Amino acid sequence: FGEDSAVKMVDWVEENYDSIKETCPVLDLGCGNGHLLLDLAELGFEDLTGIDYSPAAIQLARAVAEDKDLGDVIKYEAVDFLAEKETMEWCTRQAGADGSQGEPKKFMVMLDKGTYDAISLHQKNKRDAAAAAAATANASAEGNADDKEASKAKDDITLAENDGDMEELADRYPKRVAAMMHDDGRLLITSCNWTQPELIQRFAHVFEYDSHLKYPTFTFGGVKGQTISSVIFKKKAN
C-alpha cells in the first residue's frame, strides 16, 4: 500500500471528525501493528479501538502502544468480527466498559487498510483448494491417482464444505461491519485488489457510496486507473 495511503486515511479522519475527537468512537478492522490508531492518538483522538483475528498482531500492537505511552488511549482486542455472535458479545462488553448498558457499542468511524483484501484472497484460495481437491478425486475415480491422493482429496472437499469460509466470507463482511457501525457512521476502506466501482458493487446490499480519496492515476490501453482505491461508505437507510 505504501505510507501515502495510511497518511490519507488519517488525514480524512482528522478533517471530518476533529471537532469530536475526544468522543468519536473509531474502530480499526484488522489493525495489525496498530499504526493508524497510533497516528490518530497523537492527533488527540481518545476513543480508539483496534481488532484483529491474530492474537500475535494484537500483542505486537499493544507493545508498540505501550512503548509510545499510548497504552491507556488505544484498546486492542483479538476478535473475529466475521463471527456474528462473537462480535455482538464483544460490542456489548465494550458498551459496558464505557458505562453504557443494554445496546452493543456502535462506532462512528471504521477503518480498513487491506483487511477486506486479505479476506477476499483467503476465500479465493479456499475455492481453488476445493476445486483442486475435486479434480484429484475425479482423477482417482478414473484410475489416474493413487489411494493416498484420493483420500486427501476427499478430506479437503469435506473440510471446504464444512468450513464457514465457504459461506462467502467477503460477502459476510459488509453485514458484520454495518452491525457495528453507528447509523451516521462511515467506513473508509482502502484496497489494492479491488477498484472503486468493484467495491461499490460488492458493498451495495448494505452500504451506499459517500466519497473517495484521490490518488495519482495512470493510463494503460486508453483506460485511466489507479493502483489503490479508498472508498468511504455510509449505511443504507432502513
pLDDT in tens, 83-127: 999 999 999 999 877 766 678 999 999 999 999 999 988 554 445
Residue 207: pLDDT band with limits 50, 70, 90: very high
Considering the chain, what is the average pLDDT of its residues?
84
Residue 114 has a CB neighbour count (10 Å cut-off) of: 18
Which pLDDT score, from 0 to 100, does residue 60 have?
Answer: 97
User: Are 53 and 150 in a shared domain?
Assistant: no
Q: Residue 143's domain spans which residues?
A: 121-166
User: Are 45 and 60 in a shared domain?
Assistant: yes
Given a contact cutoff of 8 angstroms between Cβ atoms, the answer to whether 222 and 184 are in contact is no
80 has a pLDDT exceeding 90:
yes
Which pLDDT score, from 0 to 100, does residue 97 have?
Answer: 78
User: Are 44 and 127 in a shared domain?
Assistant: no
Give the separation between CA 17 and CA 8, rounded to whole angstroms: 14
Residue 173 lies in a domain: no
- C-alpha cell recorded at residue 5: 495511503
Full 3-state SS string of 139-169:
HHHCCCCCHHHHHHHHHHHHHHHHCHHHCCH
Residue 226: pLDDT band with limits 50, 70, 90: confident
Given a contact cutoff of 8 angstroms between Cβ atoms, the answer to whether 97 and 85 are in contact is no
b/e code 157-180 from CB counts within 10 Å (16+ = b) = beebeeeebeeebbebbbebbbbb
Q: How many domains does the chain have?
A: 2
pLDDT in tens, 117-170: 999 885 544 454 444 545 555 665 566 556 655 555 555 444 444 444 444 777
Which phi and psi (to 5°) does residue 56 adopt? Answer: -65, -40
User: Are 159 and 185 in a shared domain?
Assistant: no
Which pLDDT score, from 0 to 100, does residue 173 have?
Answer: 94
34 has a pLDDT exceeding 70:
yes
Sorted by sequence, the CB contacts under 8 Å of residue 120 that are 6+ apart come out as 169, 170, 193, 194
pTM, full prediction: 0.81
